[in-house]
Amino acid sequence: MELAEKLEILAPAARFDACDTHSSGGKRFTPKKAAWDAAGIAAESGPDGRAMPVFRLLMSSKCEWDCPYCPLRSANDTPRAALTPEELAQAFMPRVERGAAQGLLLSTGVDSDQRAATTRMIDGVEQLRRKNGFDGYVHLKLLPGTSRSDVERAARLASRISINIEAPSAEQLAAISPRRDWFADVIAPLLWARDWQREGLLPSGIATQFVVGAAGEADRDLLRTTAWLYRDLDLRRVYFGAFRPAAGTPLADRLPTPFVREQRLKEADWLLRHYGFATDELPYDAGGNLPLNTDPKLAWALAHPELFPVELNTAAETLLMRVPGLGPLSVRRILRLRRDHCSREPAQLKGLGSLAGRAADFVTLNGRFFGRDHAARMRHYAAPKPIVEQLTRWG
At 22 the pLDDT is: 40
State yes or no: pLDDT of 307 exceeds 70.
Answer: yes
3-class state of residue 376 by DSSP: helix
What is the average per-residue pLDDT within 73-100? 93
336 Cβ contact list (under 8 Å, min separation 6):
none
User: Which amino acid makes up residue 185?
Assistant: D
Phi, psi dihedrals of residue 230, rounded to the nearest 5°:
-65, -45
Residue 36: which pLDDT band, with cuts at 50, 70 and 90?
very low
Taking the CA atoms of the chain, what radius of gyration do you get in angstroms?
Answer: 23
Q: What angle do CA 7, 54, 11 make, to 5 degrees?
A: 20
Percent of the chain surpassing pLDDT 90 = 64
- For the segment 335-349, the average pLDDT, to the nearest whole number, is 80
Instruction: Answer whether residue 360 shows pLDDT above 80.
Output: yes
What is each CA distance from 2 to 55, 98, 107, 220, 253, in whole angstroms? 19, 21, 20, 46, 35
How many beta carbons lie within 10 A of that of residue 123, not counting itself? 17
Task: From 300, 289, 293, 232, select the one nearest 265 (Cα to Cα).
Answer: 289
User: Half-sphere exposure of residue 165, counting CA atoms within 13 Å on the CB side?
Assistant: 30
Is the pLDDT at 32 greater than 50, yes or no?
Answer: no
Question: What domains does the chain contain, in order, with CATH numbers?
Answer: 3-281 (3.20.20.70), 299-381 (no CATH)
What pLDDT band is residue 355 in, cutting at 50, 70 and 90?
A: low
User: How much is the average pLDDT of 174-183?
Assistant: 91
DSSP letters, 17-70, are S--STT-TTS------GGG-STT-EEEEE-TTS-EEEEEEEESB---S---TT-
3-state DSSP helix/strand/coil % of the chain, to nearest 5: 45, 10, 45
User: Where is pLDDT greater, at 337 or 54?
Assistant: 54
CA distance 13 to 109: 10
> CA 105, 203, 116 angle in degrees (round to 5)?
45
Single out the residue of 114, 160, 119 nearest to residue 137, CA to CA: 160
CA distance 341 to 335: 10
Beta-carbon contacts of 226 under 8 Å, excluding residues fewer than 6 positions away, are 168, 238, 269, 272, 279
pTM value?
Answer: 0.88
CA–CA separation, 8 vs 199, rounded Å?
39
More confident residue, 37 or 50: 50
Average pLDDT for 214-223: 97
Tell me the pLDDT tens digit for each residue of 43-73.
887 777 788 999 999 999 999 988 888 888 8
- Neighbouring C-beta atoms of residue 248, cutoff 10 Å: 11
